[in-house]
Structure 1
Amino acid sequence: MYEPIRTKSVHSTMADGSPDFPHRSREEELDIQLAGHLAALLTVTDELRDLAPGAELDAAAERLAAQVARLRGGQPPVRVPLSVVRDTGRLAGLHRRAHALAGRALVVAASRADTVVAILAAERMDAHTAALESLALASR
């Protein structure tokens, strides 16, 4: 009823001793994951800079870009070009998204013992929490 498998499986096991593809270490995987979280946070930070420009967001964006480049072996991150659309109604949503991304980065940074990124992520979480509180007070 079923035709037998005639080709070698594409899923190599460690039992055969010779994997057909390179494996990354846990540290390399965490670097890739952390760089992705920081790059996403940088994108949201750039959007926030566009909607509500400020020196604090500019400095944060530069610090985030430097860490992404470090984790990617010196390759700078792709940056979002600033637009001319000023939809300030999106600020709260962007701050919530940035807070969540910073939290994810903090978890990964803690697991790989990267204190520089952990401190940066915690600072960004605090900044976005403060911004959300400020927006809530302003809307009352």
Structure 2
Amino acid sequence: MYEPIRTKSVHSTMAGNTTDFPHRSREEELDIQLAGHLAALLAVTDELRAAAPTADLDAAAERLAEQVARLRGGPAPTRAGASGGQARLAALHRRAHALAGRALVVAASRADTAVAILAAERMDAHAAAQAAAQAAAQAAAQAEPQELTGVG
């Protein structure tokens, strides 16, 4: 069904000696990937802090920044400023929940317990924030028809 390969790979012959370029270990690749996910989660957390500051978000941002710096080997991550308002809160919580989930998967694959716990805590916090926002929206929707008809 498939024809066997009869010639050497173009990639190996073009590269010549394979030690000419640096190679990263799987662990280093996972560190880079995890730092990227955590940095993205930190950016969303900073946006949430700007829109609706809480002590929980402040503490989470600090912990995220510490982990990103550890994974990157020392440089502090770039912090995001405010770019949206109250209307974006639900979307930001959804995005943060998804990013924390991605970080959790990578942290679990590299057996980084501290980051896995942090990511799981952030997933729980953002899921709770989403549930609270939905409950508030449903309560407002139920209260609105009563106000319009004057029935109370």
Query: TM-score interval w.r.t. the shorter chain?
Result: 0.7 to 0.9
State the Cα RMSD in Å: 2.0
Work out the CA distance in 2 between the residues paired with 1:10 and 1:95. Answer: 47
Instruction: Look up the match of 1:6.
Output: none
Which string of whole-angstrom CA distances, capped at 9 and with x for unpartnered residues, describes residues 82-108 of structure 1?
46xx62111110000000000000000
Work out the CA distance in 1 between the residues paired with 2:10 and 2:17. Answer: 15
Q: Give the letter aligned to residue 80 of structure 1.
A: A
1:67 partnered with 2:67? yes
Deviation of the 1:73 alpha carbon:
0.4
So what's the TM-score if we normalise by structure 1? 0.86
Q: How many residues of Structure 1 are paired with residues of Structure 2 in the alignment?
A: 129
So what's the TM-score if we normalise by structure 2? 0.79
State the structure with more CA Rg.
Answer: 2
Q: Report which of the two has the higher share of helix.
A: 2
**Which ranges in structure 1 are unaligned for 5 or more consecutive residues?**
1-8
Runs of at least 4 residues off by over 2 Å: 9-13, 16-19
**Which ranges in structure 2 are unaligned for 5 or more consecutive residues?**
1-8, 139-152
> Percent identity between the aligned chains?
76
Instruction: Look up the match of 2:117.
Output: 119
Q: Residues 23 and 95 of structure 1: is their aligned pair in 2 closer, same or farther, counting only changes over 3 Å?
A: same
Q: Which residues of 2 match residues 1-140 of structure 1 at below 5 A?
A: 11-12=11-12, 18-82=18-82, 87-140=85-138
